Structure 1
Amino acid sequence: MYLITYIIEAITSVKANKLRSFLTSAMIAIGIMALVGIMTAIDAVQDSINSGMDDLGVSNFTITDLTRRRGKFGRKVSKKNTITYEQLRKFKKLLPVEGKISVQTPISSSLEIKRLSKKTTPNYGVVGIDDMYLSNNGYTLKDGRSFSSIELSQGQNVAIIAKDVRLKLFDKNEDPIEKSIGFKGKKYRVIGVLEEKGGIGEGDADRQVFIPLLNANKFAAQQLLNYTATINITDPRGLDYAMSEARGILRIIRQDQLGKPDSFEIKRNDSLNSEFDQMTFILRIGGLAIAIVTLLGASIGLMNIMMVSVTERTREIGIRKAMGATPTAIRQQFLLEAIFICLIGGAVGAFLGAGIGNIIAVFLESESFVLPWMWITISIFVCVGVGVVSGYYPARKASRLDPIESLRFE
């Protein structure tokens, strides 16, 4: 019963000092909004990445050139002793496991694709692929067909385009099949269009043009091509065995000396996920630090306002004590006021943060919508904690006031 009375008195006090309560709540809301917003954006992007990994399956692993990192910022240096196309051809023939093996090589991730008077921005990619690449990497054909065995074996100038390429180069109702597109001074006939897949950054799957691998090899005279093999194992239980077999075979093909480290890298999909988790962990720590600093400032402001409130209501405290109010009752009243102000700011900040976080995720090309109930719940508990910490000293001071001296206060 007393608790309900104290809550009603806290609401009345907040209404009586609307501007002061609003400013304090706004400071709390900004801190919570920063925390929930950053965490929501990270969760939404992570959901999008994880769904993309699910499309590939957990039984995939990739073989790439060995890259070394050095320097203050961990910058990648030039690749040494790259894997060749012939080495991967031998590897595909020798790997004694059941599954699909695809080989690809990126020509560039910053090309301008042209068709007649239309052209894309210079951030589209062209990738040389074999017959297994599309299925191994979760692509689905929407229109047209995939490469034929003749087109692949002869390296013909044909292409399969992704969604954004079609939107940029063709009219809405125009059929792109059998039309020509160009890049790097060469013309390619479009034979297929892919379903939307999504992606982030330069590797956006919807900004890609795929050409036969042998056709891509023709660009080796102009630039260094880096080949990647993706192995999709039929039985996930045999993944570790397949990876060890792949490592042994490729070491023999590349003539790696006994006792020396691999001259290539093997990564499974969950290792890619763990790398992304490490990156998001750093972002979460940064968001948490921003929120803590903001909430620290807000808590100091709240404490100051509660101290002013105690001074302004000294006579009221004296009257309450003269009528029998205990120090505990006075302390609880002021604590509840501080907590109530924090909860108002926390609730507003949490839902604003969730909305802003999802908007940021959309700009990062994530299709996931996340309502972070966990972070909203955490933010509410944080607000209660801030209210208790900020309101305890003023509440304690109010509870210790002498009733006679309080009644004399002007």
Structure 2
Amino acid sequence: MTLLDSFTLAFQTVRSNKLRSGITIAIIAFGIMALIGIITAIDAMNGSLRSSFSTMGANGFTIAFKERIRFGNNNQSVKSKKGGRRQKKSNLDKPISMTDAELFKANYHYPSTVSISLSGRGGNEIHYGDKKTNPNVRINGGDENYLKVNGFEIGSGRNFSAADVSSGQNICLLGIDVANKLFNNIPERAVDKMVRVGNRPYRVIGVLKSKGTSAMMRADNIVITTYNNVRHISNNASSYVIGVLLNDIQHVNGGVNEAMATFRAIRKLHPTEDDNFVIEKSDKLAEQFISLLSVIQAAAGGIGLITLIGAAIGLMNIMLVAVSERTREVGLIKAIGGKRKNIRLQFLFESTIISLMGAICGIILGVLIGNVVALFLGTGFVVPWGWVATGIAICTAVGLLAGLWPAIKASRLNPINALRYE
């Protein structure tokens, strides 16, 4: 009996037991589908995150308030001149004020562009005549450098001037999605028109080019005004954020160190005090999210492997049942000259064929399901080829291991007893 004969017999057996083979294939397919589907979706999220957080180049960083959760006494106790003790509020709890940000912008002399921004209220509805957007438009306040530092470009109209920022008047720049919604996909018509942000009228001075909006960060569904305007209209303005775009990527570390020293002096921090702000390189936040996704990816792999272990146990059980059902067949093969290795190969081929068919079905379903997420995120079609190859290798190993003991058991059957088996 040749190797091809063993494979042919195994394939015919799989085809003749459609229900049993189908159930086992389905179990394996669901395990691989869960694994490949989640991995594909996470790969799509990785691409979306990298696109979303590329608002500044690799040569940029931000300075933001470092919020601290502290337990117990939040005050520092120091001695007074009279020998008693008085309470001094810690410098660590102070948000970044407009004065701090403007002083930094004036005193940071490293070759770079510095921008000041202040987040406004999210969930806004923008109106123009009888047209309105969905109530999910966010407002950001910036200065004349905000667009450059954050990777925006003017499509129509103009940018803010220093005088605009100083006055804090009601002027704005519209994201392309907002302009298309309000002006029937002719965004240049928005320039010099009056729109309402909630109940406040704003004159549109420009429309931004598209940044490639993703589901992770809707960069085109935005209204940008000056930070002074956001400060005027917001009752509870949050801490200011400083963005820095260095002229040379080679000078990032030097720029960060210079910014640290400059801002510590502005914040009046003693040498023994911790920083009450944090400096984040432009790609670090994306890397943090991506590392979190890697943990999810590992968890998904663990879930998939557990499912495959269950499928392997089920496959081994089915193969053991097949040995009992086909005892006379094994005896007949041995009686006409079949060897033990032929019997082993036939059962191993059978279990491997079932496992690989499950793998193929699961991979196809997993890639399709994962790319539903990719479609929603607006990324391209994703195929995690490395994990596809890993899935095939795992299922091959599962098929071989699940069929090994049944194959050995079948090959050890006594041909005389096997032929007499009822």
Deviations along 1:62-92, whole A, 9 cap, x unmatched? 1001123589xxxxxxx93100111111111
Residue 338 of structure 1 deviates from its aligned partner by 0.7
- Counterpart in 2 of 1:4? 4
The reply on whether 1:227 has 2:240 as its aligned counterpart is yes
Bigger mean CA offset, 200-209 vs 34-43? 200-209
- Counterpart in 2 of 1:386? 398
Q: Distance in 2 between matches of 1:140 and 1:5?
A: 68
The reply on whether 1:16 has 2:16 as its aligned counterpart is yes
Native 8 Å contact 2:131 2:182 kept in 1: yes
Letter in 2 for 1:374: G
Instruction: Pick closer, same or farther for the CA change 1:369–1:168 going to 2, 3 Å.
Output: same
Letter in 1 for 2:38: I
Structure 1 counterpart of 2:262, from 235, 240, 249 = 249
Letter in 1 for 2:58: V
Residue 39 of structure 1 deviates from its aligned partner by 0.7
State the structure with more CA Rg: 2
Native 8 Å contact 2:112 2:245 kept in 1: yes
Q: TM-score, normalised by structure 1?
A: 0.92
Native 8 Å contact 1:144 1:193 kept in 2: yes
Deviations along 1:6-29, whole A, 9 cap, x unmatched? 222222111111222122111111
3-state SS, counterpart of residue 123 of structure 2: strand
Instruction: Pick closer, same or farther for the CA change 1:242–1:335 going to 2, 3 Å.
Output: same
Alignment of 1:124-143 (within 5 A): 124-143=137-156
Q: Distance in 2 between matches of 1:313 and 1:267?
A: 67
Q: Distance in 2 between matches of 1:302 and 1:168?
A: 56
Q: Distance in 2 between matches of 1:376 and 1:57?
A: 33
Q: Distance in 1 between matches of 2:225 and 2:45?
A: 29
The reply on whether 1:308 has 2:321 as its aligned counterpart is yes
Unaligned segments of structure 2, at least 5 residues: 72-91
Q: Distance in 1 between matches of 2:67 and 2:418?
A: 74
Q: Distance in 2 between matches of 1:112 and 1:318?
A: 79
Unaligned segments of structure 1, at least 5 residues: 72-78
Alignment of 1:21-40 (within 5 A): 21-40=21-40
Letter in 1 for 2:148: S
Native 8 Å contact 2:143 2:162 kept in 1: no
Deviations along 1:21-61, whole A, 9 cap, x unmatched? 12211111111111111111111111222234456221111
Deviations along 1:367-389, whole A, 9 cap, x unmatched? 23211111110110011111112
Letter in 2 for 1:163: I
Residue 185 of structure 1 deviates from its aligned partner by 2.5
Instruction: Pick closer, same or farther for the CA change 1:171–1:70 going to 2, 3 Å.
Output: farther
Residue 366 of structure 1 deviates from its aligned partner by 3.7
The reply on whether 1:346 has 2:359 as its aligned counterpart is yes
Q: Distance in 2 between matches of 1:309 and 1:141?
A: 71
Structure 1 counterpart of 2:311, from 283, 298, 301 = 298
- Counterpart in 2 of 1:43? 43
Q: Distance in 1 between matches of 2:69 and 2:309?
A: 38
Native 8 Å contact 2:44 2:373 kept in 1: no
Instruction: Pick closer, same or farther for the CA change 1:104–1:90 going to 2, 3 Å.
Output: same
Native 8 Å contact 2:374 2:382 kept in 1: no
RMSD, matched Cα: 2.1
Instruction: Pick closer, same or farther for the CA change 1:240–1:173 going to 2, 3 Å.
Output: closer
Instruction: Pick closer, same or farther for the CA change 1:405–1:283 going to 2, 3 Å.
Output: same
Native 8 Å contact 1:45 1:368 kept in 2: no
Letter in 1 for 2:384: P
Q: Distance in 2 between matches of 1:392 and 1:33?
A: 25
The reply on whether 1:214 has 2:228 as its aligned counterpart is yes
- Counterpart in 1 of 2:347? 334
Instruction: Pick closer, same or farther for the CA change 1:65–1:55 going to 2, 3 Å.
Output: closer
Deviations along 1:94-123, whole A, 9 cap, x unmatched? 112111111111112222223333333332
